[in-house]
Amino acid sequence: MRDRNTGIWDEVSLSVTGPVKIIDPHLVSSFFDDYKTAYLYATVELENRSGWVAECSLSIEVTAEVEDNICLVEHFQTQNLSIPPGAHVQYSFPELFFYKPNLWWPNGMGKQSLYNIIISVDVKGFGESDMWNHLFGFRKIESYIDNVTGGRLFKVNGQPVFIRGGNWILSDGLLRLSKKRYQTDIKFHADMNFNMIRCWGGGLAERPEFYHYCDVYGLLVWQEFWITGDVDGRGVPISNPNGPLDHDLFMLCARDTVKLLRNHASLALWVGGNEQVPPEDINAALKHDLRLHPLFETGHGNGTLIKGLVGMLDTDPSLYLDGTRVYVQGSMWDGFADGKGNFTDGPYEIQNPEDFFKDNFYNYGFNPEVGSVGMPVAATIRATMPKEGWKIPKFKILDNGYVEEVPNPIWDYHKYIPYSKPGSVRDQILQYGTPKDLDDFCLKSQLVNYVQYRALLEGWTSHMWSKFTGVLIWKTQNPWPGLRGQFYDHFHDQTAGFYGCRSAAEPIHVQLNLATYCIEVVNTTSHKLSDVAIETSIWDLEGTCPYYNVYERLSVLPKKTVTITEMKYPESKNPKPVYFLLLKLYHMSDYRILSRNFYWLHLSVGDYKLLEPYRTKKIPLKITSKVISQGYTYEVLMEVENTSKKPNLEGQLHKNNFCSVVGKGGYDDSLHKFTEDNAENKRQAKILEKFSKLFSRESNSLRVVEINGADVGVAFFLHFSVHMSEEENKEGKDTRILPVHYSDNYFSLVPGERMSIKMNFEVPPGKSPRIRLSGWNYDELTVL
């Protein structure tokens, strides 16, 4: 986007204070005794703008929320100060002691506990002059180069974090920045089970609300300064080769940005520039200004105090500009890519899914950028482009047998990445058959999106700690209606790649290594998995189950990826050319599912073209729904059951056919329980009655829709979407209600299996929602 940093583009606000103003407080925490005790340091600048001596009472209050809207005051401290007229002073509070503070953890590792810090100043004869408050998380972040992999390793509260995240470009290309959009963006990243966002150097330092939601949802932030391709002599027209035109102004903005962001628990590190280092003088100034306080240097334990050391520090760490986070000079230096600044990030094109698992796919420990395709759904193409842009690519067969995609000029302008790479990757969309039109092309592209991004993250996780410390995907979203790598479009409609990532990045995950065909279990948590089992079932296109096995009494150590067994079905007698694989990892004690993973696979040198006639299969479904609405906000719970006849398998694990995955954002069995337990139904109804005044529409009744079908088989690639009701539709109008937060989507069900999907959304005033279901072998139909 041109002119993205010209003129006044950020929020402008006016504030009124009394004679003494609070400026740029800095909060720092440190620990000892294995996180049982902590100290909070706080320094604040005060400016007396009056013409007389201000007799001040300066207070700091720390509260923790113990229940909804019930807070406990953990600390309250007041200091009396005299500030001369016109003076600008700095004051550090005596350190505050905490016993067993609630810790802040990244997404997937624990709760994001946040304390509310309030600093206020009262002036004698005036009253409260100014007040500042901020949510603050107690956590320790370490970052250093790992000896085993050569990649940069991050630890939070002493636990290594395997980084799986993405590159963030900008919330909106026209800088229409809003708290509501930020919340959706960041929650989407958390919903994908990501734990880091890289704020790319070609973007900007986002509004504080962005970092607030990173704090709330547990996304670590890699914050880059504004050094990229437009300040290094590249580009058309040629940019300034010596970095920013005004180096002093750049450093003024950099220091101001540090002060704005440094109190956020999610902020993990500072990086000088994208794929380059800043000019020598800027780089030296950033290194100096962002130097670590001795307490946070690696040799001192990065913020973990030896008992008795507190009080003996020469300098309060909150007096530093930051002092707690590592500064890395560029995105390919010091543990990222090859660590030396060579262009060793990427690649950015379609890949063979199995290649992500191979040892030679990427040679360095932490890849800051690896990207691929990002086609949205057809409705987005129609909503953003003229009819000339609805034409799908031409498939040009080359002399070597590979296919080159030739997109229309509008797609080319919007940075379309082809689904083929002549010479190394066969066209992944054509593997499902030649698309007939835009809808068919986009549906098949979603199949590829899911497989591509699940394989990318599963491939990296397969080598967790042995070869890699992390990966960031280029990129997660688009600030405009672009077609390059994305997991949701500019309207906030998720692609299937979103859910492929969500599956692959589960904290506890069962997966198939596509290079070795070995079944692996990933445990990124700090707890050992004991007494777990894996159910493995193969389903063919006729609806039969030619292979079934259970591997019992397994254990997986913390922070490990373990190979369990080889999946030998492809080597069996008469394997089917196209088949489905369902993996379930579960607790043997109560059959709770920890991870469920569904694959569609073909034999080597084969393709998925047999799935094309499978679209005519009519698989019966039963859909039970429950709706709760509060004003314009809806929560809908859908239980979807494949009611086709289940094969009678000896010892089949029928008890977990309902996918009740444990953990934040996982599958929810509450609707299934609701339908079976009328007493629980009544209890929930009584609870809801207490809040009846808050609800404009509320329904405890269940709606059941049955889709008839005489065939037996997998209900493949089911997809929910939310729309405005039919009577409000106009021909050609985009009827989607967005954003919608789904617990899962683009999912499949084997015979007899059922799953509940939870969705949350808001409707525009005066509109009513309709929920539609579509799938590979289902035309779109309204189910609610």
Q: The tokens 């709706």 sit on which residue? A: 627
- Alpha-carbon distance of 328 to 326, in angstroms, equals 6
DSSP H or E stretch at residue 678: helix 678-689
> Do 623 and 639 form a contact (C-beta atoms < 8 A)?
yes
> Do 283 and 261 form a contact (C-beta atoms < 8 A)?
no
Clarify whether 275 is annotated catalytic: yes
Amino acid letter at 116? N
Whether the ω angle into residue 393 lies within 30 degrees of 0, i.e. cis, is no
Long-range contacts of 728-737 (CB under 8 A, 24+ apart): 728/767, 728/768, 732/382, 734/379, 734/382, 734/383, 736/379, 736/491, 736/493, 737/761, 737/762, 737/763, 737/764, 737/767, 737/769
Contacts (Cβ under 8 Å, ≥6 apart) of 733: none
- Alpha-carbon distance of 58 to 94, in angstroms, equals 12
User: At residue 273, what are phi and psi to the nearest 5 degrees?
Assistant: -165, 170
- Alpha-carbon distance of 387 to 580, in angstroms, equals 37
DSSP H or E stretch at residue 685: helix 678-689
Sign of CA dihedral 459, 461, 467, 471: positive
Which candidate, 674, 655, 670, 630, places its Cα nearest to that of 763?
Answer: 630
The C-alpha angle 235, 270, 216, rounded to 5 degrees, equals 110
> Do 251 and 290 form a contact (C-beta atoms < 8 A)?
no
**Which one-letter DSSP state was computed for residue 389?**
G
Q: How many CB atoms lie within 10 A of CB 310?
A: 17
Which candidate, 496, 510, 714, places its Cα nearest to that of 596?
Answer: 510
Which candidate, 409, 371, 375, places its Cα nearest to that of 391?
Answer: 409
User: At residue 719, what are phi and psi to the nearest 5 degrees?
Assistant: -145, 120
Instruction: Give counts: helices (H), strands (E), the chain.
Output: 11, 37
Q: How many CB atoms lie within 10 A of CB 491?
A: 16
- Alpha-carbon distance of 56 to 65, in angstroms, equals 29
Active-site option among 74, 209, 275, 405 = 275
Contacts (Cβ under 8 Å, ≥6 apart) of 414: 385, 481, 482, 483, 484
> Do 262 and 224 form a contact (C-beta atoms < 8 A)?
no
Active-site option among 142, 369, 535, 753 = 369
> Do 210 and 239 form a contact (C-beta atoms < 8 A)?
no
Alpha helices in 530-592 (DSSP H): none
**765 CB-contact burial (10 Å; exposed 0-12 / middle 13-18 / buried 19+):** exposed
Q: What's the N-to-C CA distance of the chain in angstroms? A: 41
Name the residues annotated as catalytic.
Answer: 275, 369
